[in-house]
Amino acid sequence: MSQTDVTGAPRRGKVLTLDTMNPNIKQVEYAVRGAIVQRAVKIEKELREGAKKPFTEVIKANIGDAHAMGQKPITFLRQVLAMCAYPELLKDDAFPKDAKQRAQRILEACGGHSIGAYSASQGIECIRQDVSRFIEKRDGGIPSNPDNIFLSTGASDAIVTLLKLMVSGEGRTRTGVMISIPQYPLYSAAIADLGAVQVSYYLDEDKCWSLDVAELRRALRAAREHCHPRVLCIINPGNPTGQVQSRQCIEDVIRFAKEEGLFLMADEVYQDNVYAEGCKFHSFKKVLFEMGPEYSSTVELASFHSTSKCYMGECGFRGGYMEIVNMDPAVKAQLVKLVSVRLCPPVPGQALLDLVVNPPQPDEPSYSSFMKERTAVLDALAKKARMTEQIFNKVPGITCNPVQGAMYTFPRITLPPKAIDKAKEEGQVPDMFYCMRLLEEEGICLVPGSGFGQREGTFHFRMTILPPAEKLEIVLHKISAFHQRFTKEFS
Ligand SMILES: Cc1ncc(COP(=O)(O)O)c(C=O)c1O
C-alpha cells in the first residue's frame, strides 16, 4: 500500500494498536467467559440454524448466574423494585403494605424521588445505615458504622476499587496480592490489569480445599524475594472450590495478617450459601472483633457482599457493598474521592441491596411467602450440592470434594497420558481439550480448571450446581458417561 493518501499526506496507521495499547490489558484473562463460552454461543447459533448435533440445547454450567439457569426471582424483591421503577404501582392494591413501605422509603431517599437520579457516590445514606444494621445483627451486635460502608456495582467493582488503592511501588517494592489457587479469576485479572504482582497460595485439595497458614507463610516468604506483599485475599465460602472455612482457620488467618502486616480482603458474597452439616459461615469482621482489641483495633479489613448470589441470584442488578475496618482516615478520604469519580453505583442495585439487608420481618405481611421462597432456593441448592458430590464420586477418574458452600464443584479429573499428548498436539491445555470435547459431544459448557489455577500436573473443571435438580442430575450423568468414554478412547 502507498505510504501517502490521495492528498499526498503521509498515510497514518491506527493510533491504538496491539503494540501501543495498555500492555497490562493483554495479560488479563477471564476463563469464566473465555474461549469455551464463545464456542458454546456459536454452537447455540448453529442449533438455531438447524444444525444436527447429538444434543438439542447447550447447558451453560460455566457461570454462577442463577436466573440464567432458571431460578425465579423472589417475589418481594421484585415487587418493591417494580414500585421503585414505576411509582404509579404504589396505588395498586395487588402489592402488600410492607412492600409499598419499603418502596416509598427508598424513593424518598432518592434525588427527585426517582431511582433514575444519581445518588451519593458512597451510596444512598439510609441504605448504608440498613447495611450497617444488617452487619450488626449478623455479627451478634458488633458495631458497624455506616461511614465505613461503600455501596458498589456488584462486589466486583468494590474489589477492584480496593485493589486499585493498594497498588504502588516498582520492582521489588511493587504491591504483591496474595490470592488462593484455585481462585476466582476476577482477582488474577484485576491484578494483571493494575500491574500488581500475583502471589499464589494453594488450597489443600486433600483436606477439602482448606487453607493452611503454613502454606500462606511459604507463599509470602517466596514472594518477598521479588515484591512487597501487602494484601491477603480470602474467598469464603469458596469459589471455585466450595469450601467453608472453620472459625479456627479464620482466626489463624487474621493472626497471620497481623504478624505479617497484610491488609485483609474477605470476599463473602456466598455467606448464605452454606450446605454441609457442621459448617457455618463466620464473617471475618465478627471473628476479628471476638479476638479482642489487640486485633480489632489494628488489623485492616475490607469485606464484600453482593446481591448476585445467596438466595437472590440477582446478578444483573449489580448491587453490592464493602465494609472497611481500621482503614487510615487519610486513605479513606482518598477512597471516597476515587468512588466519587465514578458518580455512583446503579440505584436499582442499591434498592435491591436494601431489601436484602432489610428483608420482611415476622410481623409483616410478606414475611411468610418471602421465607418460603428463600428457603426453597437454599434447600434446593443444598440438595443439589449433595447430589453432585455423590454422582461424581461414583465415577472412576473423578474425585469430588463435598460442596460445603457457594455454588460450584471443582472435581479433579484423571486424564490418560494419550489425551494429554493429543491436547498438546492441538495446542490446548489438557483440561481445555477435555471441556471442549464435552461441549461438542454433550452440549455441556464447563470451565477448565486451568482458568482458576491448579497444582501442576492436576486437572479439574468447574461446574455450577445451579441448573434445576432434574436437569442437573441428567448433566451429571452425561458428564460421568463422557468421562468414561473419553478415558477409554485415550487408553
Ligand atoms: C467469589 C466472588 N466474588 C465476587 C464475585 C462478583 O460478584 P458480583 O456479581 O457481585 O460482582 C463473584 C461472582 O461470581 C464471585 O464468585
DSSP 420-466: HHHHHHTT--HHHHHHHHHHHHH-EE-EEGGGT---TT--BEEEES-
Q: Residue 1: pLDDT above 70?
A: no
Model pLDDT, residue 434: 96
- Give the start-to-end residue ranges of the domains of the chain: 23-63+370-489, 102-357
**How far is 121 from 425, CA to CA, in rounded Å?**
52
Q: What phi-psi label fits residue 258: left (phi over 0), alpha (psi between -120 and 50 degrees) or beta?
A: alpha
Q: How far is the CA of 205 from the centre of ligand 1 (A)?
A: 22
pLDDT higher at 14 or 347: 347
Q: Residue 15: pLDDT above 90?
A: no
**How far is 308 from 353, CA to CA, in rounded Å?**
10
Q: Residue 379: pLDDT above 80?
A: yes
Residue nearest to atom 6 of ligand 1 (CA): 156
Topology of domain 23-63+370-489, per CATH? Aspartate Aminotransferase, domain 1 (3.90.1150)
Beta-strand pair 319-325/149-153: antiparallel
Q: Which atom of ligand 1 is nearest to the CA of 407?
A: 16
Q: Which atom of ligand 1 is nearest to the CA of 319?
A: 10
* Span 378-387, average pLDDT: 96
Q: Which atom of ligand 1 is nearest to the CA of 64?
A: 14
* Residue 36: Cβ within 10 Å count: 23
**How far is 153 from 32, CA to CA, in rounded Å?**
19
Residues 446 and 438: beta-carbon distance below 8 Å: yes
Q: How far is the CA of 489 from the centre of ligand 1 (A)?
A: 37
Q: What is the DSSP letter of 61?
A: -
Q: Which atom of ligand 1 is nearest to the CA of 157?
A: 11
Site to probe by mutation for ligand 1, drawn from 152, 163, 308 as the one with most ligand atoms within 8 Å of Cβ, is 308
Q: How far is the CA of 90 from the centre of ligand 1 (A)?
A: 33
Cα separation values, 89 from 65, 73, 79, 128, 176, Å: 29, 19, 9, 26, 51
Q: How far is the CA of 67 from the centre of ligand 1 (A)?
A: 15
Tell me which residue has cell 504482582. Answer: 197
Using pLDDT thresholds of 50, 70 and 90, give the confidence band for residue 359: very high
The mean pLDDT of the chain is: 94
pLDDT digits (tens, 9 = 90+) for 20-70: 888 888 877 776 667 888 999 999 999 999 989 999 999 988 888 999 888
Residues with CB under 6 A from ligand 1: 64, 154-156, 184, 186, 235, 239, 267, 269, 306, 308, 315, 320
Residue nearest to atom 14 of ligand 1 (CA): 64
* Span 452-469, average pLDDT: 92
Class of CATH domain 102-357: alpha beta
Sign (positive/negative) of CA torsion 295, 296, 302, 304?
A: positive
Q: Which atom of ligand 1 is nearest to the CA of 159?
A: 4
Model pLDDT, residue 419: 93
Site to probe by mutation for ligand 1, drawn from 239, 284, 452 as the one with most ligand atoms within 8 Å of Cβ, is 239
Q: Residue 2: pLDDT above 70?
A: no
